[in-house]
């Protein structure tokens, strides 16, 4: 996969997860105070992780060819952490 195509796919995945988080945010408005507090803590973590992911995507765009695979592996790992965080957030409402 070409670098720009990969970068766009990762960005799209991040945006889709955040769209789903917005839907969960609406559910949180109707949740108990405890669940809402847990949700807010998790969403802050995910927002920080999203910012890190976007920084890594910028690194990816600027990485030399010799470093591309290394940066790509880091981005993949961060994306998996991001997805796992989203799953945990969703489990608050199960």
What pLDDT digit, counting tens, does each position of 35-52 carry? 888 888 888 887 888 888
**For the chain, which residues make up each domain, given as ranges?**
3-91
Instruction: Give me the pLDDT at residue 93, please.
Output: 64
Please report where in the chains the tokens 């199960």 appear, as a residue.
94
Q: List, for residues 11-20, the tens digit of each pLDDT value.
A: 888 888 788 7
Burial of 53 (0-12, 13-18, 19+ CB in 10 A): buried
Q: Evaluate whether 78 touches 52 at the Cβ level (below 8 Å).
A: yes
Q: How far apart are CA 57 and CA 43, in angstroms?
A: 21
The candidate with the shortest Cα–Cα distance to 16, out of 73, 69, 62, 82, is 82
């Amino acid at each position: 996969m070409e670098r720009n195509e990969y970068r766009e796919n990762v960005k799209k995945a991040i945006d889709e997860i955040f769209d789903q988080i917005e839907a969960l945010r609406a559910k949180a408005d109707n949740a108990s105070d405890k669940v809402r507090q847990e949700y807010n803590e998790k969403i802050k973590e995910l927002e920080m992780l999203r910012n890190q992911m976007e920084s890594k995507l910028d690194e990816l765009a600027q990485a030399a060819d010799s470093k591309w695979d290394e940066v790509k592996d880091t981005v993949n790992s961060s994306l998996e952490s991001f997805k796992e965080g989203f799953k945990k957030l969703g489990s608050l409402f199960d």
